[in-house]
Amino acid sequence: MTKFNLVATAAMGLEAIVADELKALGYETRTENGKVYFEGEEHDIARTNLWLRVADRVKIVVGSFPARTFDQLFEGVKALPWEKIMPVDAEFPVTGKSVKSKLYSVPDCQSITKKAIVERMKKVHGRLGMLEETGPKFKIEVSILKDVATLTIDTSGAGLHKRGYRTEQGEAPLKETLAAALVYISKWTPNRPFVDPFCGSGTIALEAAMIGQNIAPGYNREFISEEWPFMKQEIWDEVRDEADQAANYDQPLQISGSDIDHRMVEIAKRNALEAGFGELIDFKQMQVLDFTTHAEDGVMIGNPPYGERIGEVEAIEQMISDIGHMMKAYPTWSVYMLSSMENFEELYGRRATKKRKLFNGFIRTDYYQFWGRKSQKK
């Protein structure tokens, strides 16, 4: 077993949630912009890839050192123990980025990094000539921030938002990682009713169902590090077995999603089927303002359209105001809406209990949180 410095990368604003997820899995963490550092062994690489719902990727931090010149970069990269992680036939593409640093030419930094690793691998393995790179893939990144180079290797492959259930997507699907974060922030628990009245392809409802039944988000997908020699098959079998044991498939759920567009509802249903929630989530075609319920203490989470054209914006504003009015009839329900509309509270007719700035891709949004009051039955 080897001890690795690891980092879970996260979208801006979601680092604290990823840190909480890691702490809940038993790791000590250190958070920086977009990054949550932790330590672990081979088993932890597999386990965190399988379980993190809000992180983008899990990477191995191979090393970090000051690099103000190409020579420093070359020597620093060459000094790192690449042969302990990669086999001699590894394919290793190098990507790069540079922020506020003397070494700003990213293509040059990438090729110097590549050359330094080749030289190290050839020396250690006593090879002459080129390395063939016919083996498993190790995606390396050289990232230079304020003249400090950090070398990482991606252990996830496709981003962790790819859970493997999305058959098709609608026009503006939320990333699964953000959808999971919205559910976590709401503190929804599976004994409470859950509704997404703008469900689109069903992302938020599906993430809620996986959280509700404690299903590992990565259970149905593969990771690039599954191909690596030191990440033995037994490790993956073990973490998948653990995940299977931890899942609570019998947990009843009261999750529903609706959308005005019947085509979206069909997509949501297909995604639910793929995720193994076939009949467990109730998806139907409905206009948001037709929502009615006898249930108490429910949670409504939605991502209403933002509206691009002038007529559209007005209609959406009217709809938000109507939702605010409609939800007055359900005082024990908590309503959470992710919207880029800055006048959302004004339209909704109530000051949000809390707001949180979040990015939906490149769109700056707020997560407006209107808490319900507890019902008498509790």
Ligand X SMILES: C[S@@+](CC[C@H](N)C(=O)[O-])C[C@H]1O[C@@H](n2cnc3c(N)ncnc32)[C@H](O)[C@@H]1O
- Polymer length in residues for the chain: 378
Contacting range for ligand X; rule: CB under 6 A; set: 28-36, 51-59, 81-89, 167-175: 167-175
Member of 305, 307, 332, 345 binding ligand X (CB under 6 A): 305
Side chain identity, residue 331:
P
Shortest Å distance, C-beta 121 to ligand X: 43
Stretch touching ligand X by CB under 6 A, among 3-11, 62-70, 104-112, 300-308: 300-308
Stretch that binds ligand X, among 14-22, 151-159, 187-195, 259-267 (CB under 6 A): 259-267
| Cβ contact 245:180 at 8 Å | no
Q: Which residue has the tokens 């790179």?
A: 133
Please give the size of the binding site for ligand X, defined by CB under 6 A: 20
> Closest distance between ligand X and the C-beta of residue 263, in Å?
9
Tokens of 37: 């550092």
Residue 251 near residue 212, CB atoms below 8 Å: yes
Task: For residue 53, give the nearest of 254, 204, 255 by alpha carbon.
Answer: 204
Closest CB to ligand X among residues 52, 174: 174
Q: Which one of residues 264, 301, 323, 327 is an interface residue with ligand X (CB under 6 A)? A: 264
Interacting residues with ligand X between 136 and 155 (CB under 6 A): none
The answer to whether 186 contacts ligand X (rule: CB under 6 A) is: no
Q: To which residue do tokens 């620093």 refer? A: 76
With respect to ligand X, which residue has the nearer C-beta, 247 or 273? 273
Applying CB under 6 A, the span of 21-29, 93-101, 171-179, 183-191 interacting with ligand X comes to 171-179
User: In sequence order, what are the residues at sequence separation of 6 or more whose Cβ sits closer than 8 angstroms to the Cβ of residue 78?
Assistant: 116, 117, 119, 120
Q: Angle CA(205)–CA(209)–CA(215) in degrees, nearest 5?
A: 140
Nearer to ligand X, 152 or 256 (CB): 256
Return the H-helix or E-strand segment holding 153. strand 148-154
Give the sign of the dihedral formed by CA 305, CA 13, CA 60, CA 220.
Answer: negative
Query: Cβ of residue 359: shortest distance to ligand X, in angstroms?
Result: 14
Site residues for ligand X, 274-293, by CB under 6 A, read 287-288
Q: How far is the CB of 15 from ligand X (least distance, A)?
A: 22
303 scored as a contact of ligand X (CB under 6 A) = yes
Out of 200, 217, 218, 372, the residue judged to bind ligand X by CB under 6 A: 200
Question: Is residue 258 within a helix (H) or strand (E), and if so which, with residue range?
Answer: strand 255-259
Cβ closest to ligand X, residue 113 vs residue 201: 201
**Shortest reach from residue 163's CB to ligand X, in Å:** 12
SS3 170: coil
Q: Is 259 in the site for ligand X (CB under 6 A)?
A: yes
Residues 3-32 that bind ligand X (CB under 6 A): none
Nearer to ligand X, 63 or 305 (CB): 305
**Closest separation in Å from C-beta 271 to ligand X:** 9
Measured CA to CA, the distance from residue 229 to residue 208 in angstroms comes to 35
Site map 202..241 versus ligand X, x via CB under 6 A: -xx-------------------------------------
Name the residue number minimizing CB distance to ligand X. Answer: 200
265 by DSSP, 3-state: which?
helix
41 burial type by CB count under 10 A (0-12 exposed, 13-18 middle, 19+ buried): middle
Identity of the amino acid at 165 = Y
Pairing of strands 334-339, 363-370: antiparallel
C-alpha–C-alpha distance, residues 220 and 203, integer Å? 16
Among 7, 50, 109, 319, binds ligand X (CB under 6 A): 319
State the distance between the two ends of the chain, measured CA to CA, in whole angstroms. Answer: 48
Give the Cα separation of 166 and 210 in Å (integer).
Answer: 14
- Give residues in contact with ligand X (CB under 6 A): 170, 172-174, 197-198, 200-201, 203-204, 259-261, 264, 287-288, 303-305, 319
